[in-house]
Amino acid sequence: MSEPKIDQSQASIGIGFSTNVNAQQIGGTIHNYSPEQKRQNLAEAAAEIKKLLEQLAQDYPTETLTQKAAVAEEALQIIESNPTFKQRLLSAMEGMAVEAFIQLIDHPVANIMREGIERFREPT
């Protein structure tokens, strides 16, 4: 069974998060996000992933576990290929359990993405 492929120009996701935050300069930029900014960034990241999953689910079937896994893998590849979004995702998830983030995404395929999202947190 071949994995679904998607024209990434059609799968573009709006990942423009506000970067207008107060930062401290200590040998580099350190963002001191308020708890409200962290919640907003997390909600935005979850919404963007949900939007991506909904878009992929329109193009590919998601009735079986195998089909859902293929869509989840495609979504993870799209996230992985966008280092800016991946880093924003990791920053938004800082200090949060992956399980809580998966619930925030609120999409049937999100649970299958859990392992891939956990791998993003591992040092490269």
pLDDT (tens digit per residue) in 80-124 = 999 998 988 888 887 778 888 888 899 989 989 988 888 888 876
Place of tokens 């979004």: 85
**Cα angle 32-124-118, degrees, rounded to a multiple of 5:** 70
Say what the pLDDT of residue 64 is.
94
Beta strands in 29-121 (DSSP E): 29-31
- Contacts of residue 96, Cβ cutoff 8 Å, sequence gap at least 6: 42
CA distances from 6 to 24, 25, 33 (A): 40, 41, 35
Neighbours of 115 (CB within 10 A): 10
